[in-house]
Amino acid sequence: MSAVVDVVDLVKVYPAGRGGEPVRALDGITFVVEAGEFFGFLGPNGAGKTTTIRILATLARATSGQATVAGLDVARDAARVRVAIGLAMQTVALENLLSGRENLEMIGRLHRVPAPELRQRVDELLELMGLADAARRLVGTYSGGMRRRLDLATALVHRPAVLFLDEPTEGLDPQSRMALWEELVRISRAGTTMFLTTHYMEEADRLCDRVAIVDAGRIAVEGTPRDLKRSIGSDAVEIALGHPDGPDALASAQEAALGRLSGIDGIMTAEPSAAGIAVAVADAHAAVPALLRRLDGDGVRVTGLTMREPTLDDVFLRYCGRHIRAEEADRPLETGWW
């Protein structure tokens, strides 16, 4: 694998405003995004996400540290970096009096994509974004969702090495958000390296192969969503037990079940719960078959089983000492893209 984005010890200090203190927005950030990855920067407002994207996209200068994108230094080779990247949904001016296809062709010519290659790329993108049937319609007649898909396509015409998306679903209704998620997954699967920022846990969890959790200009922890959730310790498995009627029947079923679980590897805790027993294990998917094998039979009847994995919320809480959401409530929402 090769690094498409390579960032070493990036620092950004914004100078003090009138009477204020300088703001250390990035306090030494280091990470790598590999080709083909869907990489996420997850953190609350003010964490430094937009600052990072702006530096990588050559729209702002770092105070110190190095960053390369597609092998090019963002400070020394800014013009070539700009050609190598895509910035999604930067409210490019879609031309209402041109068709969807014409819009893409126009952007492609601006990027100097050679004509035969451009035709093929535009066909590909119209297909990928579900706009093939509407390709000849004027963009002025497009729905909001269609415009968004065309916006995404315009960022991809020149086959960027990486597509940057800064909080792409901020402010969208749930239905539009889910539609956009599907579009982003399709773009990623078609081979584009993705760099997305978000403060939505679920979004990072659903979309990203790997996530860096950022807080106050630093990366608190990074990894795959699955590893991060696992790293904080345990999954909860709730096992409901069938039992005859009677005052002590549940208690004796619980006692029997707990007795059978003693000595199984990977069980962190096991205790009675409202409908049966609750078991904490390192990895529920791995542990459940063994749990069920051990419990089944002779006076113990399993009537239900639910697993709850930790969420990235739990991860943020563990590493940053508070919930992302509580933070959100205290700060005004940013508006706009940059």
Ligand X SMILES: Nc1ncnc2c1ncn2[C@@H]1O[C@H](COP(=O)(O)OP(=O)(O)O)[C@@H](O)[C@H]1O
Strand segments, DSSP code E, in 181-242 are 193-198, 210-215, 218-223, 235-242
- 3-class state of residue 240 by DSSP: strand
Within 10 Å of residue 22's Cβ, how many Cβ atoms?
11
23 binds ligand X (CB under 6 A): yes
188 binds ligand X (CB under 6 A): no
- 3-class state of residue 284 by DSSP: helix
Q: How far is the CB of 219 from Mg ion (least distance, A)?
A: 16
| Closest alpha carbon to 63 in 8, 13, 6, 7 | 13
Q: How far is the CB of 50 from ligand X (least distance, A)?
A: 3
Q: Decide whether 172 or 302 has the Cβ nearer to ligand X.
A: 172
Q: How far is the CB of 59 from ligand X (least distance, A)?
A: 11
50 binds Mg ion (CB under 5 A): yes
| 220, amino acid identity | A
Q: Which of 7, 42, 50, 70 binds ligand X (CB under 6 A)?
A: 50
198 binds Mg ion (CB under 5 A): no
CA-CA distance, 124 to 153, in Å (whole number)?
Answer: 10
130: left (phi over 0), alpha (psi -120 to 50) or beta: left
User: Measured between alpha carbons, how far is residue 238 from residues 121, 203, 281 in Å?
Assistant: 51, 26, 11
Q: How far is the CB of 60 from ligand X (least distance, A)?
A: 8
48 binds ligand X (CB under 6 A): yes
In the list ligand X, Mg ion, none, the entry touching 277 (Cβ below 5 to 8 angstroms by class) is: none
240 binds ligand X (CB under 6 A): no
CA-CA distance, 127 to 104, in Å (whole number)?
Answer: 13
In the list Mg ion, ligand X, none, the entry touching 40 (Cβ below 5 to 8 angstroms by class) is: none
- Chain Cα centroid distance, residue 129: 20
In the list ligand X, Mg ion, none, the entry touching 254 (Cβ below 5 to 8 angstroms by class) is: none
Q: Decide whether 17 or 246 has the Cβ nearer to ligand X.
A: 17
State both tokens at 296.
Answer: 């089944």
In the list Mg ion, ligand X, none, the entry touching 72 (Cβ below 5 to 8 angstroms by class) is: none
x/- site string to ligand X, residues 28 to 47, per CB under 6 A?
---------------x-xxx
Residue position matching structure tokens 């080709």: 35
Q: Decide whether 23 or 302 has the Cβ nearer to ligand X.
A: 23
Q: Using CB under 5 A as the criterion, which residues of the chain lie in contact with Mg ion when the complex forms?
A: 49-50
Q: Using CB under 6 A as the criterion, which residues of the chain lie in contact with ligand X when the complex forms?
A: 14, 23, 25, 43, 45-51
